[in-house]
């Protein structure tokens, strides 16, 4: 089970991440926003590539669901924090973070992952 505190700790450990208020949520970003934490701390929205949410939603529907409307078709996915282990949350956050890196940073981050 993950919590809002886990998400904050994991996101802020990702290189270049800053957090700031975003409407009624807290946003985490590098070059772009890659995650937002709901005010109640129970869910977060992650920006995945448009094709990634489908597999995540099929394999773990209790943890992942697409954000409604056009946001979901762009890859935004709602994550129920309590339905993920800390390792699963870290993997999903890292994936979203990699998509939000500037182009130069993406290739360097991928090289470090290997």
pLDDT at residue 110, rounded to an integer: 55
Letter string b/e over residues 48-86, b meaning 16 or more CB atoms within 10 A of that residue's CB: beeebbeebbeebeebbbbbeeeebeebbbbbbbebbee
Domain assignment present for residue 45? The answer is: yes
Domain assignment present for residue 62? The answer is: yes
Distance in angstroms (rounded) separating the CA atoms of residues 80 and 43? 5
Domain assignment present for residue 68? The answer is: yes
Domain assignment present for residue 92? The answer is: yes
Domain assignment present for residue 81? The answer is: yes
The residues of the chain scoring below 50 in pLDDT are: 114
pLDDT at residue 114, rounded to an integer: 47
Q: Give residue 63's domain range.
A: 4-107
Q: What's the total number of domains in the chain?
A: 1
Domain assignment present for residue 98? The answer is: yes
pLDDT at residue 107, rounded to an integer: 58
Domain assignment present for residue 96? The answer is: yes
pLDDT at residue 103, rounded to an integer: 82
Domain assignment present for residue 112? The answer is: no
pLDDT at residue 45, rounded to an integer: 98
CA triple 96-37-43, angle to 5 deg: 95
- Return the CATH number at 97: 3.90.1150.30
Distance in angstroms (rounded) separating the CA atoms of residues 25 and 45? 10
pTM: 0.88
């Amino acid at each position: 089970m993950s919590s809002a505190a886990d998400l904050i700790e994991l996101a802020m450990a990702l290189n270049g991440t800053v957090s700031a208020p975003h409407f009624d949520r807290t946003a985490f970003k590098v070059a772009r926003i890659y995650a937002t934490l709901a005010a109640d701390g129970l869910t977060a929205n992650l920006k995945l590539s448009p094709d990634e949410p489908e597999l995540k939603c099929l394999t773990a529907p209790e943890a992942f669901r697409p954000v409604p409307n056009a946001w979901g078709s762009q890859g935004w996915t709602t994550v129920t924090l309590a339905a993920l282990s800390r390792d699963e949350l870290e993997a999903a956050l890292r994936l979203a973070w990699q998509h939000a890196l500037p182009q130069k940073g993406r290739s360097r981050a991928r090289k470090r992952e290997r």
